[in-house]
Structure 1
Amino acid sequence: MGKIALLFPGQGSQYVGMGKPLYEHCVSSRTIFDQVDAVHQGTTTLCFEGPSEALNQTENTQPCIFAVELAALAALQCVGVEAQGIAGFSLGEVTGLVAAGVLSMDDGLKFVKKRGRAMEEAAQMTPATMVAVLKLENPKVEALCKEFNQCYPVNYNCPGQLVVALLKADQELFLTRVKELGGRGIPLTLSGGFHSPFMTYATKLLEKRIYELSFSEASIPLYSNAYAKPYPDAPVDIRSYILHQINHPVLWEQTMRNMIADGFTTFIECGPGKTLGGFLKKIDKSVTCHHVETLLTDYLEAKNAGKEWTFIC
């Protein structure tokens, strides 16, 4: 039998109403929301009611997604599913650090708040944006980036999808060039050029703050975005990995391929949306991906019917 891995999504997966089913049907999930609200007031209201303009501000988005992901993890633990590995996309990697026992929930939330503010500040310094490029091979997109000043391939999501960070002033010309090459460009509703040199200022802001955190040895492997391999155990290396991730590309496709090669056959997306499951289908159709809210629904239906529920992978 193959191994089970948890996947935590990142910024861009948020939507008004996210996490509400978890709050309504799982006491442990509700406790997570209450704990986050005590530190970052209004998180639950923003998740469930918005408005979307406020939810989409990076300094709010990150604590909100963090809360939903930990609530999803709590629900999963309630139904008795145990994982043997973790990967988180961008912000989701911080949730992964908590899920793997490397960071406490309090330290994780503390860092998420500081990370969100730092990235927001960096975004305000330079008017940058992000574009998802579809239907072009990675080398073509990488070559296209070199035609522009400050244009970087940043999120290697899956075959035929590579996200680019670039100056807002270059977006229209970039989209035109993508079309000329036979691809399709989709502007993303993000407030900055994440995982690129545009975020170097954010890493500098966080360099001192990261020493306020306490690290423990991971209970299960957490695969890094920037290196596509498990985090090391030494605190000095963990700090380096966390900071490096902020202004370097997310190697998601390679991470998934490495996890599959390491024996992971079942993946459970723990957080808002089903984007990561969509990527996984394009990376390798032989593996299975579930969503935690679907599993919780199945569990509750079986419980209400007086039947035994067992997760089969």
Structure 2
Amino acid sequence: MVSSQSSQSTQTPSETELILLSGASRGALLEKIAALQSFCAKHPHDSLGDLAFTLATQETPSEMRLTLVASSVADLEKKLTRASERLQDSNCRQIRDVQGIYFFENPLGREGQVAALFPGEGAPYLGMIGDLPSHFPEVAQVISQCDEMTRSGGQAQLSRFLSVPEEADQRSQLEQELGGLGNTMFSVLMVDWALHDLFRSLGITPDAVAGHSAGELAALWVSGSLVGQLELEELRQTMDFLDTDEQSADSESVLLAVGASRESMQELLVEVSTEFGYAADASPLFLAMDNCPHQTVLIGPPEAMAKVAEVLRERKTMHERLPFNRPYHTPLFEPQMGPMARMFDRMQFQVPKIPLYSCTTGRPFPHEPDAIRELAMSHWIRRVEFSQMIRNMHDDGVRIFLELGPRGNLTSFVSDILRGREFLAVSADVQRHSGLTQLHHVLGQLFAQHVPMQPAALYRHRELKTIAWNSKMLAPVPL
């Protein structure tokens, strides 16, 4: 959708910095840690940004890697001490401290593949990606171009959803607007692509891609399967039409997100279908999404779904009614597929340039353009098989799953699906961190896992200087 390279300088203050250290052996890494501890003790008021910049541009990555996310020189010194204490224990094989300390003795990036995952509807929230547009012109340009698309269509700017108003009434109004089908689809794809452009600018390219629900549109584009640019304004208009059609419909569907396995929920739907006299091959109750072992999404008519909810309450099974009634990923949505089908008919498809997995079949997309179109379109009336897709990707060699989109739901799903196996799942955006701080945490883990990247590119929009923290500094890495 949007590609950009910019040399524009940004001087927005950074609340955290990413510190990268490495050594040929654990002993060499411990020596680096000791040298940096000594520097921090002697220079407590030096710029943490200059230090981070120096380490990213002057140090050549080697075998043993430690990364830290720090808010100050004092914070860095404390984390270096904790890391040193743990690494001096030869039994320590990895450190994954959520405060920002990362080390992996057997990194997955040496041989394992990296997959990019793109979330869809249900992921957007007010304030998503936070301060990233102010730090990275690549991100700001994507947002600006999407705003221009909405302006040309006579709509309000999507960027209004990237901040959280202080006034409760304003927040409530924006949340209601974000819930509209056109806005939620357009905004999640905008953020998906903005994050993709950002990570690509940092030298991180996935070996495979996949999307969840509407996120599959982003995956189709990123893989090169969708020719040219996806017309987001046309997508927004299509979704707005569906939203209006849904609101005027005589009947509605109820959607429940349930904290239970696919198998148990399929049994429950059979029980309720039998009680309501539905024929086995004509029941309007569907398991629409198999997200992970502990989350499924059920869809059906209000009366029968009320019975489903009653049974779930009796069994003390966690569940939540979702705030919309669109029967996506079931045959119930087929009567509303007209606008979607016309949109897909106008798209041009080709063989993906990198492996593209289908969230419908759980397998890679076919290599025939017409078959790609048919499968992508049928995704909207067929079950989301996210669990099976992730298991298949892992079987095919993917070990690192990078979620490029808001909130981090897919990262949680992957962690549940692959529990007990070797993998890393990280999200580029979460609500508990600012955009930049979460970026630092993600890049820190990827670097420590030996994922190829260009750390120096993180600073191409900042005016920083190198500092002599270590007399054994190597030749600079070009920006």
Normalised by the length of structure 2, the TM-score is: 0.60
CA separation in 2, counterparts of 1:105 and 1:255?
Answer: 27
Which letter maps to 1:75?
Answer: L
**Does residue 371 of structure 2 align to residue 237 of structure 1?**
yes
Cα deviation for residue 238 of structure 1 reads 1.3
Cα deviation for residue 119 of structure 1 reads 4.1
2:327 counterpart residue number = 193
Q: 2:257 aligns with which of 102, 126, 132?
A: 132
RMSD of aligned alpha carbons: 2.6
**Does residue 338 of structure 2 align to residue 204 of structure 1?**
yes
CA separation in 2, counterparts of 1:6 and 1:119?
Answer: 29
1:10 counterpart residue number = 120
Q: Deviations over 1:59-94 (max 9, x none)?
A: 211001000110010111121111100111001100
**Does residue 395 of structure 2 align to residue 261 of structure 1?**
yes
The 5 A counterparts of 1:158-197 are 158-181=292-315, 183-197=317-331
Change (3 A) 1:235 1:89: same
Higher helix share: 1
CA separation in 2, counterparts of 1:305 and 1:4?
Answer: 32
1:289 counterpart residue number = 425
Answer whether contact 1:22 1:72 (CA < 8 A) is retained.
Answer: no
CA separation in 2, counterparts of 1:15 and 1:101?
Answer: 28
Unaligned 5+ runs, structure 2: 1-110, 152-156, 165-170, 274-282, 430-436, 444-454, 468-473
2:160 counterpart residue number = 45
SS in 2 for 1:165: strand
How many residue pairs match? The answer is 308
Change (3 A) 1:113 1:104: farther
Bigger mean CA deviation after superposition, 156-165 or 245-254: 156-165
CA separation in 1, counterparts of 2:292 and 2:238?
Answer: 26
Cα deviation for residue 210 of structure 1 reads 1.7
Structure whose alpha-carbon radius of gyration is higher: 2
SS in 2 for 1:193: coil
Q: 2:232 aligns with which of 83, 99, 109?
A: 109
SS in 2 for 1:106: coil
CA separation in 1, counterparts of 2:391 and 2:246?
Answer: 31
Which letter maps to 1:173?
Answer: K
SS in 1 for 2:114: strand
SS in 2 for 1:40: helix
Bigger mean CA deviation after superposition, 72-81 or 13-22: 13-22
2:36 counterpart residue number = none
Answer whether contact 1:268 1:290 (CA < 8 A) is retained.
Answer: yes
Answer whether contact 1:63 1:109 (CA < 8 A) is retained.
Answer: yes
Normalised by the length of structure 1, the TM-score is: 0.89
Unaligned 5+ runs, structure 1: none
2:266 counterpart residue number = 142
Change (3 A) 1:2 1:195: same
